[in-house]
Amino acid sequence: MTLKFEIIAKDSSTKARLGRIHTPHGSFDTPAFMAVGTRGSVKGLTPDMLHQAGCQIILGNTYHLMLRPGSEVVRDLGGLQQFSGFNGPMLTDSGGFQVFSLSDLRHFDCDHVVFKSHIDGSAIRLGPVESMKIQHELGADIAMAFDDCPPADCPPERLAESMDRTIRWAGICREEHEKLDPENRQALFGIVQGGTNPDQRLRCAESLIAMDFDGYALGGLAVGEGHDRMIATIDHAAPLLPESRPRYLMGVGYPVDILEAVKRGVDMFDCVLPTRNGRNALAFTSTGPIRLRNSQYIRDMNPLDASCDCMCCRQFSRGYLRHLFAVGEMLGPTLISLHNLRFFQRWMLDIRQAIRDNHGSMLVAPGSM
Residues in touch with RNA (CB under 7 A)? 36, 38, 42-44, 59, 61, 64, 93-94, 96-98, 100-102, 104, 118, 144, 147, 149, 191, 193, 217, 219-220, 222-223, 227, 250-254, 257, 270-273, 275-277, 279-282, 291, 293-296, 298, 326, 328, 330, 333
Cα(288)–Cα(236) distance, integer angstroms: 30
Q: At its nearest, how many Å lie between RNA and the CB of residue 230?
A: 7
Residue closer to RNA by CB (options 9, 211) is 211
HSE value, Cβ hemisphere, 13 Å, CA-based, for 152:
10
Given a contact cutoff of 8 angstroms between Cβ atoms, the answer to whether 279 and 45 are in contact is: no
Residue closer to RNA by CB (options 193, 285) is 193
Residue closer to RNA by CB (options 50, 354) is 50
Q: At its nearest, how many Å lie between RNA and the CB of residue 4?
A: 23
Element (H, E) at 59: strand 58-61
Q: At its nearest, how many Å lie between RNA and the CB of residue 157?
A: 19
Residue closer to RNA by CB (options 217, 262) is 217
In three-state secondary structure terms, 1 is coil
Cα(251)–Cα(363) distance, integer angstroms: 22
State the alpha helices, DSSP H only, in the chain: 47-53, 62-67, 71-76, 80-84, 96-101, 128-138, 156-180, 198-209, 227-237, 255-262, 273-279, 311-315, 318-327, 331-356
Annotate 326-362 with DSSP letters as a single string: HHT-THHHHHHHHHHHHHHHHHHHHHHHHHHTT-GGG
Cα(227)–Cα(253) distance, integer angstroms: 10
Q: At its nearest, how many Å lie between RNA and the CB of residue 357?
A: 26
Residue closer to RNA by CB (options 97, 316) is 97
Instruction: Give the catalytic positions in this structure.
Output: 93, 270
Q: At its nearest, how many Å lie between RNA and the CB of residue 358?
A: 27
Q: At its nearest, how many Å lie between RNA and the CB of residue 87?
A: 20
Residue closer to RNA by CB (options 9, 202) is 202
Chain-centre distance of CA 85, in angstroms? 19
Question: Per this entry, what is the length of the chain?
Answer: 369
